């Protein structure tokens, strides 16, 4: 099982959970699985073209997915997927 | 009556009560402070500003700190606006001005945003101030926290310039050096806000912090005789201050403080070694700013994943500005050019700004009579190490302490 870390602003969607375990082989699959457990996540994270929304950063084991394989990145057992709002810093 | 009445999402318009938060729960967009504009219109005037303190706090009516709050100040702002005739002559610009913000108390523009942020945080009961920083912000936060007597945690990349680390450490904050780049530090702090009761200047209290940037443009207009320039050149890191400068120009017009109603062209400057906003600006999809791994001597603006990058591109296009970038060599050359012509020693980020100014001028962007202002945002001693390398000083000689040696070695 891979594990999502849910940021504060989205925890209401996940019934207050800080982490959610999902069964998936890639990142898109993981988001679909998260959305199946807690509907609403897919729309918050992905735009109408299926791309990652502008103000969302996703880190797969601490690596920004936009710097790596993107949403097609393979996801394995014990991988940690962190959703982090992009608006920060500077 | 409070003048700041809440927060509003810049993307979807959702409104929130006044609180320490920076992200819209609906769309993750950035939140901005909302003012009671009708009430402010009755109060704000040139005369009231001109009679105010000789610091940026003369624009207090337009900052998110209520009148009853005791501000935390070291006399920041109201820095010199210098008419740069010698640099202008080299670049073919007859009305070039430099806003020398390296003259702030901790020698960078960050004193403006931090003075606002810490004043807001202390007034709202926070006991610890924190930030994620490329150096200048940590320097300002540590100094102002000391001034305010507040606990302080600053987070910086482990490999910052020694001069910056020293000028942070002297204020004795809790200094956390993170094994990673600024973007790693920023992500860590974005996650830490959920488990600490701290005010992170550039994260959870960012809507208030960012407002301090506006004072740079307010002052520029006042120092030009209550006129906005034709174009302003601004270094781009996250893009946070760039966005506030357009807002400042709009407020100057809205409140009738300047003549005319034309917003200046806003032009952004990046180092090619960290140019995600420049890359997007010149691509087919300027609304998609893709992150990069920074590799530049302009460390203070080395943000690979800039949160306001998309807004920078929109504002540059809407106002007739551009986003340009320069090489490492051009950065150092521009630092020397500015010093040699105007007697101002700026850090590498200032080298980026002046480098872009020079590049655009030499490419024929201006006719020559436009009023152009470059924001010089940090002092050269912060990054003096870049000048000690191979690109040395050609007019230096070493002599014996004798008249003979002087005559032999120095040509008069």
Helix residue ranges per DSSP H, B127-239: 136-148, 162-169, 182-192, 206-209, 214-223
Q: What is the CATH number assigned to the segment(s) A2-85?
A: 3.10.20.30
How confident is the model at residue B394, as a pLDDT?
72
Structural domain spans, chain A:
2-85
**25-54 in chain A: CB under 8 A from chain B:** 44, 53-54
pLDDT tens track for B338-386:
999 999 999 999 999 999 999 999 999 999 999 999 999 999 999 999 9
Q: Which residue of A has its CA nearest to B243?
A: A90
pLDDT tens track for B128-139:
999 999 999 999
CATH topology of domain B4-46+108-208: Rossmann fold (3.40.50)
How confident is the model at residue B249, as a pLDDT?
98
Three-class SS of residue A69?
coil
Q: Which residue of A has its CA nearest to B286?
A: A54
Q: What is the CATH number assigned to the segment(s) B81-104+210-387?
A: 3.40.50.1100
- Show residues of chain A in contact with B308, CB under 8 Å: 87, 90
Q: Do domains B4-46+108-208 and B81-104+210-387 have the same CATH topology?
A: yes
Greatest extent of chain A over all pairs of C-alpha atoms, in Å:
36
pLDDT tens track for B258-293:
998 999 999 999 999 999 999 999 999 999 999 999
Provide the sign of the torsion angle of the four alpha carbons B223, B81, B248, B287, taken in this order. Answer: positive
Verify whether the Cβ–Cβ distance A90 to B293 is below 8 Å: no
pLDDT tens track for B194-205:
899 999 999 999
Provide the sign of the torsion angle of the four alpha carbons B210, B214, B217, B220, taken in this order. Answer: negative
Q: B309 near B278, Cβ under 8 Å?
A: no
pLDDT tens track for A64-82:
999 888 999 999 989 999 9
Q: Which residue of B has its CA nearest to A83?
A: B191
Residue B1 has pLDDT above 70, yes or no: yes
Of A53, A85, A90, the CB nearest to B23: A85
Distance from CA of A56 to the nearest CA of B (A): 7
Residue B238, chain A, CB below 8 Å: the answer is: yes
ipTM: 0.91
- C-alpha B342: how far from its chain's center? 21
Of B25, B202, B293, the CB nearest to A88: B202
- What's the CA gap between B348 and B335, in Å, rounded? 7
Of A55, A66, A89, the CB nearest to B29: A55
- What's the CA gap between B310 and B16, in Å, rounded? 23
- What's the CA gap between B238 and B277, in Å, rounded? 9
The reply to whether the predicted model has a pTM over 0.90 is: yes
Tell me what the mean pLDDT of segment B210-214 comes to.
98
- What's the CA gap between B215 and B195, in Å, rounded? 33
Distance from CA of A18 to the nearest CA of B (A): 11
Q: B65 near B96, Cβ under 8 Å?
A: no
Structural domain spans, chain B:
4-46+108-208, 81-104+210-387
């Amino acid at each position: 099982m891979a594990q999502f870390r849910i940021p504060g602003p989205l925890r209401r969607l996940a019934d207050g959970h800080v982490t959610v375990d999902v069964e998936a082989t890639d990142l898109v699959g993981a988001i679909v699985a998260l959305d199946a457990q807690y509907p609403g996540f897919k729309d918050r994270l992905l735009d109408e073209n299926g791309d990652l929304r502008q103000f969302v950063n996703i880190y797969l084991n601490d690596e920004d997915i936009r710097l790596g394989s993107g949403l097609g990145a393979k996801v394995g057992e014990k991988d940690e997927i962190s959703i982090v709002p992009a608006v920060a810093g500077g | 009556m409070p003048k700041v009445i809440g927060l509003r999402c810049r993307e979807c318009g959702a409104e929130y009560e006044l609180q320490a938060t920076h992200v819209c729960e609906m769309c993750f967009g950035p939140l901005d402070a909302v003012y009671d504009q009708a009430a402010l219109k009755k109060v704000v005037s040139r005369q009231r500003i001109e009679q105010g303190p000789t610091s940026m706090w003369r624009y207090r009516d337009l900052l998110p700190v209520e009148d009853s709050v005791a501000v935390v100040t070291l006399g920041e702002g109201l820095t010199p606006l210098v008419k740069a005739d010698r640099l202008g002559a080299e670049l073919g610009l007859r009305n070039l001005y430099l806003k020398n913000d390296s003259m702030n108390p901790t020698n960078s523009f960050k004193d403006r945003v931090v003075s606002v942020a810490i004043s807001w945080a202390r007034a709202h009961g926070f006991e610890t101030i924190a930030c994620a920083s490329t150096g200048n912000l940590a320097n300002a936060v540590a100094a102002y926290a000391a001034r305010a007597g507040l606990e302080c945690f600053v987070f910086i990349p482990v490999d910052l310039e020694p001069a910056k680390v020293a000028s942070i450490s002297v204020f004795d904050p809790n200094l956390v050096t993170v094994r990673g780049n600024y973007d790693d530090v920023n992500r860590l702090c974005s996650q830490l806000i959920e488990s600490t009761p701290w005010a992170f200047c550039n994260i959870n209290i960012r809507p208030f912090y960012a407002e301090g940037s506006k004072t740079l443009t307010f002052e520029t207009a006042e120092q030009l005789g209550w006129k906005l320039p034709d174009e302003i050149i601004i270094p781009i890191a996250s893009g946070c201050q760039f966005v506030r400068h357009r807002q400042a120009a709009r407020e100057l017009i809205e409140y009738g403080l300047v003549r005319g109603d034309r917003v200046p062209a806003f032009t952004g400057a990046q180092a090619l070694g960290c140019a995600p906003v420049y890359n997007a600006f010149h691509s087919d999809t300027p609304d998609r700013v893709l992150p990069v791994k920074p590799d530049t001597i302009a460390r203070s603006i080395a943000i690979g994943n800039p949160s306001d990058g998309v807004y920078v591109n929109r504002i540059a296009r809407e106002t007739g500005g551009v986003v340009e970038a320069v090489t490492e060599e051009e950065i150092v050359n521009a630092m020397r050019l500015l010093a040699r012509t105007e007697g101002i020693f700026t850090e590498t980020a200032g080298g980026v700004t002046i480098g872009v100014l020079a590049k655009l001028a030499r490419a024929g962007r201006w006719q020559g009579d436009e009023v152009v202002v470059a924001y010089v945002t940090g002092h050269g001693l912060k990054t003096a190490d870049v000048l000690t390398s191979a690109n040395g000083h050609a007019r230096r000689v070493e002599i014996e302490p004798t008249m003979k040696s002087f005559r032999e070695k120095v040509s008069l």
